[in-house]
């Protein structure tokens, strides 16, 4: 990992952070408590449309699931950036990611799907991107999204 900034790494990856999604209900995208920033569950929205709907183990293949998890993580990072006035150098650590994989009961490769989010966290934040995580299957998610990712960050 070279000594560079999260913004530079995002640029290297060809990722432009989207304008973060406004929650569709009576809650907010991020809350700071002490030096912890809690990020609401993000769906794989790209330009306002879900990148993947349906179930892993059903119509959604693992490769698409990985892309969806990555899209969720881009939205998590966009929410963090918005909370930090765009300055991602204020992220001290990606503390935890929670991955929710909509799937059939016989699906077993949740970890591979969630790596789409985890790999991006490390690619963008380097060692500070190494996080704890829990990944579970779910029967369905809001709007029939295939994946949802929530986050916990330590920030300046």
The footprint of its own copies (CB under 8 A) covers: 23-31, 33-36, 38-41, 55, 57, 93, 95-98, 100, 102-112, 114-115, 118-119, 121-122, 130-144, 148, 150, 152, 154
Select from 50, 82, 79, 71 the least CA-distant residue to 117.
Answer: 71
| CA 3, 4, 10, 14 torsion-angle sign | negative
Tell the smallest beta-carbon distance from residue 45 to its own copies (Å): 13
DSSP annotation of 35 reads: T
Residue 127 Cβ, how far from its own copies at the closest point, in Å?
10
Judge contact between 101 and 137, C-beta under 8 A. Answer: yes
Nearer to its own copies, 9 or 55 (CB): 55
Residue 79 Cβ vs its own copies, minimum distance, rounded to whole Å: 9
């Amino acid at each position: 990992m070279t000594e560079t900034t999260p913004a530079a790494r995002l640029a290297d990856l060809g990722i432009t952070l989207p304008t973060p999604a406004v929650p569709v209900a009576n809650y907010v995208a991020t809350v700071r408590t002490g030096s912890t920033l809690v990020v609401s569950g993000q769906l794989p929205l790209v330009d306002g449309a879900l990148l993947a709907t349906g179930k892993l183990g059903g119509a959604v293949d693992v490769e698409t699931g990985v892309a969806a998890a990555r899209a969720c993580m881009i939205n998590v990072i966009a929410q963090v950036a918005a909370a930090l006035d765009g300055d991602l150098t204020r992220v001290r650590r990606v503390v935890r990611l929670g991955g929710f994989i909509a799937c059939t009961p016989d699906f077993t490769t949740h970890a591979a799907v969630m790596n789409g989010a985890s790999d991006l966290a490390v690619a963008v934040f380097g060692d500070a991107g190494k996080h704890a995580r829990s990944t579970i299957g779910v029967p369905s998610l809001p709007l029939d999204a295939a994946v949802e990712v929530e986050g916990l960050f330590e920030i300046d």
